[in-house]
Every structure is written in C-alpha cells, then in structure tokens.
A and B are shown apart, each in its own frame.
Chain A
C-alpha cells in the first residue's frame, strides 16, 4: 500500500482532533463520532467543518507551528464558532464570508491566548470562541446581508422536506419515548456541547464517552447532577437551565477538573462537586450582565471557573492532595495510570536516602541543639543508645561496658560512600 502523503495525514489529524479537543480528548474514534454527530443538524455540521478547514488553512498559510495545529488546539474554538453560526444564520454567500472573517478573529485571539497562557501553564479553553461569537453576533446586527435562520421554527416542515414521512414519523416516535426528565436533560445538555440539542445526539455522545473513558463518563454524570442538585437547593431558575441546556457547563467543568488538569482521584471528584455550584453562580451572574447586551453565555462560566481553579492549584505553596497533570496524555485513565507509575518509580528519587546507622530499635538520647553537649559547632549531632522497658540503659549491675545494652552492637553506614579516615585509638569510656 503506497504511503499516504504527509499532507493528507496532517489535514486528517487537524480536522478530526479539533472535535475531540472540545471534550478534552485526542481519541480518534471518539473525535470521528463527534464529527458525525455534529451532522445530525446538517447545517451546523457543515458550517462547523468548513470553519475548521478554513482555520487550518489559515494557520498553515500564516506559518504557525504545524505540530500544534495538528493537535487541533488552534481550531477547536473556530469549530464551535462555525457550529453556532450554522445554527443561527441562513446560509448565503455573505454568511460564509463573515464566517471566514469571524474564524480569523478567533484564530488571532487563540494564538495570542495560547502564547500568553503557556508560560503560566493555564489553559484558555473556549474564551476565543466566546469573544469571536460576540464579535460576530454584535456586528451581524448591523449587517443587512446576514439573516437569522428561521430553521427550528417549523421543525416538522423541515424534517418533511429533508426526509419525507419516514423522518417525521421517526421524529415523533423519539419524542414519545418516556425518558425520565433527569436523563432527558442530561443527554440534551451533552449534545449541546456541540450544539445539537436532541436526545439522539446526546445518547450517541454518551455512549462514545463511556467507550472512550469510563472516568470521563462518570465525571460527566457527577458534574451535571451536582450542578443541578445545587440549583434545586438554592431554588434557582431551573426552567431556564432546562430550556437553554446551559447545564453543559457543568459537564465540561467536570471533565476538565476531574481528569484532565488534575489526576483523577476521590479528591478531584470532590472538587468537581464543589466547583459546579460555582459555575452555577457564574451562570446566573454573567447571564444577568450579558443579558443587557443580549449576548449569549455559552461556555463562558465553565471557562472562567476552570481557568481560575487551574491557576490557583498551579500556584500552591504546598502541593498535596490534588495532583496536577504534568504531562498531558489527553485521557483521564492514561493520566491516572501514568501518575501511579511515576509515584511507584520515582518516589524515592526526590531526595537522597539516609538510613539510621543501626538495626532494631534504639533511642535518641540527645538530638539537635540538645543542650548537654550538642552546642555550638556540634549542635547538629544525634546520639543513640538502647533502653529496656524500665528505662535503664544497662543490665544490672551496670558496672562494666558490656553490661550496657548498646555496647558491642553492629554500626551501619547511613548511606553508600567511601572510607575517608580510620580512627582506632579512642579508649572505651569509663563507667
């Protein structure tokens, strides 16, 4: 079989991995599944794919680092912008031009943030996408050639146009499924991450997530439901959450903090459960502020909370409990196993191992700055002897050196080394 040209591989990887990046994954199977799912709403799908391809070409033309482009890091924000624009606007030539320009802006912001945050090891998540989408939405209000799409208003009509009575019947059947509300919202929120808003897309993504990573799947459940429980608890606006599927912020927070930036552990799961209320608060707060300008929230709360958390955790004075992921393997399971492996292999290599110079149990009779003789130049010495249960250091009558428990016992070298001097002329102490 002839070798596939490098350029094709480059494009394949860059395009496919952009989809996975949204879910913090580099698994190609999962990414392809996401790509396919994005086409359930075909307009969103096409627009998204176009956005990704255009940004990759832009990145290549401008001479950005191809290795980074290949990971999808520069293009996933553009992908999200494309998906959103595909949903909300009518396809037209003007639309595509604005799409390209919007992607370009997003790319500029992405590159700037990538460089700025790389030194402090803090991610930029989907901030470029949010800024880009605001730019496009705000400017589009004054652009007459860009029309808001009227899709979704007459759903059944469009389905009929697209797939005939078969599709309509299937659609009705799916809507009649009695999925419990809790699951229904979870699955639809999951699909909302790639802007799909239907239960089929959500189910496929859920299955894909479970196959790709059990930890990520469990995190998505924990994150989502902890966020919702908090909302119930504070009697927040549940119906708004349900209608806008903004709960996907909880899921993404869980994926990010639970197994991507931190090594998965019971403590990271606990952190997720504590962070989703923060996200919920931010949804309420930002929603109020942005509502004034009629700007959408999308994944802004998730991005801000996770960036803030990661920044704080990376600037700890004492790193204990939550372990940061030092080399990203893009899979919670791989991060966890690699962490365990490092702990096992290197736990003793962080400092030089010194043993106490004897076998068995001895007592330290005088330590640092002991005050008896460990003063001045000798204040860093340790003295050892042996005592029995009554506290005596000798066997009665204790009149000769050999009556003392510690006399004549072997003395070990505290660490490997070379003999520097031998001193052999010191007399035994007198009793």
Chain B
C-alpha cells in the first residue's frame, strides 16, 4: 500500500462572522508536470534547484507576437534581446523563428556571432562600446545604435580608417506620458538634441543613418506610451526625408512590453494587467501608418522585445529545506533557491505552486532563500498549503533576466534544462561546480602556504 502523504497540522484562529480561509478553497492547483515531464523526475535527474524552459511556449508566444504585428504592418522584424536571456539554446530558438540579435555589450556581441548570427543582423545598443568593439561591429556591417555624442565621434574617427561605411541609428528619448522619462539614454527629442545628432551624422556623410531607435521603459503597462513614441520617431523620419531627401530604413521601438508577472505592490494580478501584444501592436502600427509616409517608403518596424517573449516559458523547480516559526508567530519556509538565482523576486511576487497534491488547508507563510543574508526573501507573504522538508515547488514566469542576473554567491548556480516540442528534456547549461567559480582565479605564489 502506498504511504499516505503526511501533512503537519495547522492551528488557525477562527474569526466568527468574518470570512475565513476555512470557507474558501485555495486557488492553487498542484503543478506536478512541466510540459509532460514530472517535476520530481527532473529534479532527481538534474539536481535541485533547476531552471526549466519550455520551447513550445517560447515558439507559441513568439508566433503570437509576430502575428499581432505582421497582420497590422507590412514589414516587421523582431530582434532577440540577449541581455534578457543569453543562454545559447534559448537564443537559437528565437533565431530559428526568424529573430535578429540585439546586444548591449562586447561579450554579448561575440556570443551572437558565435551562435551564427550574421553581422548585419546584429543590433548593437548600449552606452559602453569600446574602440575595439566598435571596430569589430563596423567590419561586420552591424547596426550601431548611438547613445551619446562621444560615441558618435568615436565612430566618425573609425569610419575614416575603415573601408566600410558604418550603418548607424540614434537612440532617442522623449516624453511619452509615463514616469520616469529615461533621458539618460540616447538623445532627447523635445530639446532638439536628437535633430542635432541626426544633422551631424548626415552632413558628415561618413556614416549611413539607417534607422531611429527608442526604448521608452520597462514593464510598460500603458500601450499609449508606445503610440506617442512611434509618432515622434515617425516625425523625425519625415523631417529627415523633407530636409535631406533621405529615407530611413527602419524604426526600432525597443522593448519594454510587460509580462504577466505581478509587480510588488500591485493590487491586481499581473495576468489581468499586462496588455496583450495586440494592443501594443495596434498603438504602434496605427501611429506609424498614419504618420504620413509615402506608400513605398514605410520604414521596417523593429522590435527588441525580451521579457514578454520569454518570461512565461521559464520555470524554476526547487525544494523545501526546512520550516520555522518566527518570533511573531508567522510560518517561515526556507527553500533551496533565493535572490541569488531568482533576482526577479526583488521586483515581482512570483506565482509559486506546490509540486505535489495537498489538502484544502493552507497557511500564510514567508518564503526565504538559502542564503544567510537578511535580504534573501522570495515572498514576504504567500498562502500555501503546509510544506515539509523535501517537498517541491514550482515558480512560474522566471524566463526573463534570472538566467543573466543570477549571482555567483554562496550557492553554486543550478542547471538549465529545455524541454523541446516533443516533451523531451535537453540539458542546455550544466550545474556549476567549484571549478566554475575558481577557473579565473590566480593565486599568487607567496600566498600558497600558511600555518595555522
């Protein structure tokens, strides 16, 4: 006979006359499988904790986004934002679906090249581009998005030495009705800096201005901001056409679409708040189509979406280490993952589901991570059924930023597994070992010996 699952008893104060938890059923359903693979089996095979990515979800989300835009605008191109998740397997799924690459640093650029993306399909953003990185990008015909005038002058200098004409765009910031304005990036539209930079580029004629770029925020919940941004960029493009008789090849609206995670402090669940791809598409394409471009001079629309495409495809599987009762009576559960590998727990209240069956009883708890640091709190307040040591949990929507911002701190970083279209798991990043931490360390000889 199978051993029954043991659940410890809970003591809950009963408030008469007021709605209480004994009357309501918990909304959580256990998540025992991800894409047809048992959570227990995956953790047993690859260790705990474990990141799991669903390739099916990536492709479906991408195709939804692609359809939303392609049915509203004739020329659309997505560029996968490497900083969101630069695991090569994930990037290549996007490239297989037709995405270019968008990178913000030298090593991301090299990663894109090594993945096989051809140079002219890499968009190089970011304020910190060294001379070597710029030289390499110019040689490969990549698209350089200029952030500041110093970069403009650096590229001008390199252009005189190179046989190729650098293909550049400028990043523009503007007031789109949302707070805060990200005016630290790029050139401002309202005070004329952007027009000045455009004139500098075109009149100098050593670079080719092929596009206009903006990235107005992150986790945007208001599509109208994008509509405003698109119309301001279209304005710039039409002014360029009027003065220089030159057509801009593309308008890059950057990223920033919200995913369905719930922000900390948000009253409504993220699932209800996040605008759909269709609403963003409607705003952006309407603004550009109505801006006044000639029919055959409509610029290509480039999107650098990251979070909204990958978040829902990523899961984090983990195990319970122990339970505690805090001094004020609250239940605390300690998990084997914390802010060290779930960086986004600083911003979101992630949905966490138990991975095994449970009764209808639940308890308010705090979820802590394994670090011995006080800031390591995964969820300050969550209602979960009682968990015991070695029970397993599944964290939802962790695909974005966690696998690039995770810390090499106290715990070794876990493995990443991708489950393909046929529900077969593939290891796409091995669990780190001590060697991974020490491989770049150099110990000076005089420190080798000591006597205690």
Chain A positions within 8 Å of B289 at CB level: 410
The 4 closest A-B pairs by CB, nearest first: A360-B70, A360-B71, A409-B71, A359-B71
Stretch at the interface among B60-68, B103-111, B160-168: B60-68
Per the bound structure, the CA–CA distance linking A410 and B74 in Å amounts to: 11
A402 to chain B, nearest CB (A): 8
Task: Check A360–B67 contact: CB distance below 8 A.
Answer: yes
- 0/1 string, A334-370, CB within 8 A of B gives 1: 0000000000000000000000001111100000000
Per the bound structure, the CA–CA distance linking A27 and B67 in Å amounts to: 59
Chain B positions within 8 Å of A406 at CB level: 71
Question: Does A104 sit at the interface, judged by CB under 8 A?
Answer: no
Task: Check A361–B74 contact: CB distance below 8 A.
Answer: no
Per the bound structure, the CA–CA distance linking A408 and B70 in Å amounts to: 14
Question: Which residue of chain A has its CB nearest to the CB of B295?
Answer: A416
A357 to chain B, nearest CB (A): 12
Per the bound structure, the CA–CA distance linking A362 and B71 in Å amounts to: 8
Question: Which residue of chain A has its CB nearest to the CB of B282?
Answer: A408
Question: Does B133 sit at the interface, judged by CB under 8 A?
Answer: no
Chain B positions near chain A (C-beta within 8 angstroms)? 60, 63-64, 67, 69-74, 278, 282, 285, 289
B80 to chain A, nearest CB (A): 20
Chain A positions within 8 Å of B285 at CB level: 410
Task: Check A386–B64 contact: CB distance below 8 A.
Answer: no
Chain B positions within 8 Å of A360 at CB level: 67, 69-72
Task: Check B74–A408 contact: CB distance below 8 A.
Answer: no
CB contact between A361 and one of B70, B72, B73 (< 8 Å): that residue: B70
- 0/1 string, A394-429, CB within 8 A of B gives 1: 000000000001101110000000000000000000
Question: Does A240 sit at the interface, judged by CB under 8 A?
Answer: no
CB contact between A386 and one of B60, B69, B71 (< 8 Å): that residue: B71
CB contact between A405 and one of B67, B69, B73, B74 (< 8 Å): that residue: B67
Task: Check B63–A359 contact: CB distance below 8 A.
Answer: no
Chain B positions within 8 Å of A408 at CB level: 278, 282
Q: Given A408-B278, A408-B282, does the pair A389, B63 have CB atoms closer than 8 Å?
A: yes
Interface centre among B63, B71, B72 (most CB of A within 10 A): B71
Question: Which residue of chain A has its CB nearest to the CB of B60?
Answer: A389
Per the bound structure, the CA–CA distance linking A409 and B289 in Å amounts to: 13
Chain B positions within 8 Å of A410 at CB level: 71-72, 285, 289
Question: Does A388 sit at the interface, judged by CB under 8 A?
Answer: yes
Task: Check A359–B67 contact: CB distance below 8 A.
Answer: no
Task: Check B64–A409 contact: CB distance below 8 A.
Answer: no
Question: Which residue of chain A has its CB nearest to the CB of B276?
Answer: A395
A10 to chain B, nearest CB (A): 51
The 22 sampled A-B contact pairs (Cβ below 8 Å) are A358-B71, A359-B70, A359-B72, A359-B73, A359-B74, A360-B69, A360-B70, A360-B71, A361-B67, A386-B67, A386-B71, A388-B60, A388-B63, A388-B67, A405-B67, A405-B71, A406-B71, A408-B278, A408-B282, A410-B71, A410-B72, A410-B285
Per the bound structure, the CA–CA distance linking A298 and B69 in Å amounts to: 71
Task: Check B72–A409 contact: CB distance below 8 A.
Answer: yes
B403 to chain A, nearest CB (A): 26
Per the bound structure, the CA–CA distance linking A98 and B73 in Å amounts to: 80
A82 to chain B, nearest CB (A): 61
Chain A positions within 8 Å of B74 at CB level: 359
Question: Which residue of chain B has its CB nearest to the CB of A387?
Answer: B67
A430 to chain B, nearest CB (A): 21
A404 to chain B, nearest CB (A): 11
Chain B positions within 8 Å of A405 at CB level: 67, 71
Per the bound structure, the CA–CA distance linking A406 and B71 in Å amounts to: 9
Chain B positions within 8 Å of A409 at CB level: 71-72
